[in-house]
Amino acid sequence: MSTDTAAFLTRAIDSLQDGIAIFDVDYALVLANQPFHQIFDGATSHLIAGGAWRLFMDEAKRKGRGAGFDQLNFQLIGGLIEPFSQDVTHGSSQRVRLSARALSEGGFILTASDVTEAYEADALRIETEALLRNVLDACTANILMSSVDDGRVIYQTPYSTGQFGVLENVRHLYADVEKRSELLAELLPTGAVDDFECDLLDKDGNRVPVISHARLIEYEHEKVILASAYDLTQLHAQRDELIRIRDIAHQNEKLSAMGGLLAGVAHELNNPLSVVVGHALMLQEDITDPTLKVPLDKISHSAERCARIVKTFLAIARQKPMTLVPSSMNEIVLTALDVCGHSLRQAGVTLEINLAEALPEMQVDEDQIAQILINILTNAEHALKDAPNAEVHISTRIDPATGMIAASFSDNGPGVPKEIRGRIFEPFFTSKPVGEGTGLGLSISHRIALAHGGNLELSESPSGGACFKVSLPRGAAPHTAMAPDQPKRAAQKETHMSVLLVEDEQDVADMISRILRNKNMAVTHCDSGNDALATLTRGQQFDVIVSDLKMQGMSGIDMMLEIDAQWPIYRDRSCFVTGDSMGNALSQYKSLSNRPILEKPFSPTELIELVTSLGERA
């Protein structure tokens, strides 16, 4: 090699960033470039042409610039066959990577690279990863890192492990396997997905609703999914509770509307019912012809039943105390059949009745329980109108599971669809066509049963139709309870009293007047509050004042308040008769006065006893 060529090669080697040293077949130094001298500045006296490798290594180790040379020297002694690389410590903090490669003509070439920055970066990365892992291990979050390709779990927080167990593959986590495919379809195009809802399986195999957030990242040259999952179980429970509270409020609104509806219906029905009931009872007393007495008894009985039904509705709507009397479930069933049996048979329905013998008595309001059974039978008739070979099976027994007295009504109709079974006891909910149902019957019946400490429940009958079971507790020791709106019967006698009757319904006024006059009472009728006040102003005096509550123009309340102010002597000798016992006006008046109130429709006996008791105070 010419001198110029050798000088050129030396300059070229010196321009390299890494240090290079060449040793010949005898391990003597041929040359070392400038970067190599700078790295091993403590051993430069041995970095001269012809210098022995062993002397350079010993000096570098002695100066603290060659710790880690022993492994390289061991390779050289054995005859360097394969390229060898070894990181050594140079000084207190510098790291040097030595790489040795054998030369074909003998000897070897040694390169030295400063890798201190790489080591520091690796140390920082390791420290950062350790810190991040400590943070993730301590956090209370479900965090998973998994491979995009095969779903292999790379990392899982301990919190996630506690809930979902140790996972090897994220595919086993999804309750519905297609959900992971849906997540990937949303994630891969954008690299981010938020608010992804799905169900996961916890370590016990239970479904857990979660909302997930996922990001597509690269980790160790692999695309992975970093995902967090928030457990929605408690949130769903809170949502369900809010729905329940909302439904309760909605039901209360319906019940309030139902109360208003019943008040209006009662007011419209009670006046004509009062006329029918009153005249029917008076005719029963007056007529002795046997041929007329039987149909008259039926008229009277039916009218009284209508009156009781209206009062039952009102008692339910305004939570009036029930009239509990010792009762037989079998007798109530037969009463309901008296009302509905003929209609069912006319509709082609076969009735199969199996009533248990010697059932214990119950303490119930007979009219209210009969109303439940009538409603069930009426619904059965509607359900079976298009059914071939329609049948209703009616039975009573003691329920062995609860000890209650139960009456069951099962049919072979279409039954109640599963999707609405949970709603059939809601007020105003009906599955019947428009115009054929109000949605009140079952809700009222259910409420009556609960108020008696029992239950009304729906199941499927053996024949595939509907089966309603009314369960009621056994009664306590038999006793007779008197309804709060029915005064004790007293011996009636004719009495000479003067009564001011204020009533704007002429038919009702005629009926009341006739009842009172039959007991030798003098009745003066006024059809308005203003007319009554004018009569009193003229100085006419009365033993008792009987007034309707709700009238056109001046109401009965306003009239009584005026009477209290001008003629206080009537405060204890006046009363109301009303067919609107649910109105706000009545509640307002009850807070101002203790006057008795007789609800329409009433019997002649009830009216006479009330007026007589008030007149005795005169």
Q: What are phi and psi of 435, to 5 degrees?
A: 95, -10
- The tens digit of pLDDT for each residue in 480-537 reads 333 334 444 444 455 689 999 999 989 889 999 998 998 899 999 999 999 999 999 9
Q: How far apart are the first and last CA of the chain?
A: 152
Provide long-range contacts, Cβ within 8 A and 24+ apart, for 583-590. Answer: 583/263, 583/267, 583/549, 583/550, 585/549, 585/550, 585/555, 585/557, 586/549, 588/557, 589/549, 589/557, 589/560
Pick the CATH number of 139-231 from 3.40.50.720, 3.40.50.2300, 3.30.450.20, 2.40.30.10: 3.30.450.20
Q: What is the mean pLDDT of residues 65-79?
A: 73
Q: Which of 157, 130, 159, 135 is nearest to 146 (CA)?
A: 157
> Hey, which of 45-49, 77-81, 104-108, 288-292 has the most confident mean pLDDT?
104-108
CA 126 from centroid of its chain's CA atoms: 50
Whole-number pLDDT of residue 434: 41
Strand ranges of the sheet holding 29-32, from the earlier edge strand across to the other edge: 29-32, 19-23, 108-114, 94-102, 84-90
pLDDT tens string 310-355:
665 565 555 555 678 899 999 999 988 887 888 888 888 999 999 9
| Per-residue model confidence as pLDDT tens digits over 138-175 | 666 788 889 998 899 988 888 888 888 888 898 889 99
Shared fold status for 3-114 and 139-231: yes
Per CATH, is 3-114 categorized as 1.10.10.10?
no
Cβ proximity of 255 and 249 under 8 Å: no
Q: How confident is the model at residue 254 (pLDDT cuts 50, 70, 90)?
A: low
* CB neighbour list of residue 532: distance below 8 Å, 6 or more residues apart: 500, 502, 526, 545, 547, 559
400 preceded by a cis bond (ω within 30 of 0): no
pTM to 2 decimals? 0.42
Q: How many CB atoms lie within 10 A of CB 169?
A: 12
Residue 458 sits at φ, ψ, to 5 deg, of -110, 140
User: What pLDDT sits at residue 367?
Assistant: 82
**What sections of 464-528 are H helices per DSSP?**
506-517
pLDDT value of residue 427? 62
Strands 19-23 and 29-32: antiparallel
The residue length of the chain stands at 618
The domain spans of the chain are 3-114, 139-231, 325-472, 498-615
Query: CA 406 to CA 404: how far, in whole Å?
Result: 6
Give the C-alpha separation, 543 to 100, whole Å. Answer: 133
DSSP-derived pairing of the beta strands 597-599 and 574-578? parallel
Burial of 389 (0-12, 13-18, 19+ CB in 10 A): exposed
- Say if residues 463 and 412 touch (Cβ distance below 8 Å): yes
Q: How far apart are CA 585 and CA 555, in angstroms?
A: 9
The answer to whether residue 307 scores a pLDDT higher than 80 is: no
Quickly state the pLDDT bin for 308 (edges 50, 70, 90): low
Q: What is the dihedral of CA 358, 364, 367, 370, to 10 degrees?
A: -50
CB under 8 Å to 257, separation ≥6 — which residues?
428
3-class secondary-structure state, position 98: strand
Asked: is 498-615 a CATH 3.20.20.60 domain? The reply is no
Q: Which residue has the higher pLDDT, 13 or 326?
A: 326
Q: Which of 112-121, 185-194, 234-243, 439-448 is least confident?
A: 439-448
Q: For 76-132, how does the pLDDT look when each residue is reduced to its tens digit (9 = 90+)?
A: 877 777 788 877 776 667 788 888 888 888 889 989 888 888 777 777 777 766 766
pLDDT value at residue 143: 85
Right CATH for 325-472 from 3.90.420.10, 3.40.1010.10, 3.40.640.10, 3.30.565.10: 3.30.565.10
